[in-house]
Structure 1
Amino acid sequence: MGSTISNNKKVEDSDLISSIMSFHSKDLWKTHFTASKQTNKLMVIDFTATWCGPCRSMEPTLKEFADKYTDVEFVKLDVDELPDVAMEFGVQAMPSFVFVRKGEVIDRVIGARKEELKNKIEKHRN
């Protein structure tokens, strides 16, 4: 699966929904994650699944936050597509939001907790 993202660049096995990146290939994710270690930018990873009702209910909130907090990188990973990545991050429930900076996990929110997610984004983004 390939999608066109900004500036008509073709990226295989990933796509961009609003300002949320989504990866469907472990190799492409690893490349992106390794590159993110070189920046101080906060990354919020949304571990989700298509069958997860609470995950779907958080989609509008995540889009709203991605549009509002443009200095934060939002990434969506499907645990069924990338189970090894979910395991590496210790994900046991969905949705799980993992906060990463320079390759290190600095915080997490487990469950569809909109206010807690917002508060932690604001806390860690600076």
Structure 2
Amino acid sequence: MATHAVSSAQFENVLTSNEIVFVDFWATWCGPCRAFGPVFEKASEDNADIYFAKVDIDQNQDLAQAAGIQAVPTLLIAKKGQVIFKQAGALRASDLDDLIGQARALDVDAAAAGADANAA
């Protein structure tokens, strides 16, 4: 599966209707974004079970602001509609592959239950 350009109007639906979503917040003028783009694209081709989204921050400024994006590229990962990771900076392919494995392995329901138990 290739990457998908996602707009502000689609974003919430994409997060809630896919098990795992990797979002690359990027800009056309950003050198590190251009370097990370092919790495992100290759990962999307190798992991068809994960939804890979790209959000152009210049075209979706409201979404970038709502997501708290302060630098690009920023990778955001959501699982079952919950943000589980957000980090600025271009990643190497090996680091992205590691994050993919961690996202797959994470049991968000158990993590949420544990957080609720700790809060009580």
Pick the TM interval, shorter chain. Answer: 0.7 to 0.9
Q: Which has the higher contact order (CA 8 A, sep 6+)?
A: 2
**TM-score, length of structure 1 as denominator length:** 0.74
Pairwise CA RMSD: 1.7
Return the letter of the residue paired with 2:2.
S
How many equivalent pairs are there? 104
Unaligned ranges ≥5, structure 1 = 1-17
Separation in structure 2 between the aligned mates of residue 80 and residue 69 of structure 1, nearest angstrom? 27
Please state if 1:84 is matched with 2:66.
no
Q: Which position in structure 1 is the counterpart of 2:20? A: 42
Answer 1 or 2: which has greater helix percent.
Answer: 2
Please give the per-residue CA displacement for 1:10-58, whole angstroms capped at 9, x wherever unaligned.
xxxxxxxx610002x432x24xx3254144x110000000000000011
Please state if 1:119 is matched with 2:98.
yes
**TM-score, length of structure 2 as denominator length:** 0.77
Answer 1 or 2: which has greater strand percent.
Answer: 1
Unaligned ranges ≥5, structure 2 = 106-120
- Tell me which structure has the larger Cα radius of gyration: 2
Contact kept? 1:55, 1:112, Cα under 8 Å:
yes
Separation in structure 2 between the aligned mates of residue 68 and residue 26 of structure 1, nearest angstrom? 26
Q: CA deviation at 1:70?
A: 1.0
Q: Which position in structure 2 is the counterpart of 1:19? A: 2
Percentage of pairs with the same residue: 31
Q: Which position in structure 2 is the counterpart of 1:62? A: 40
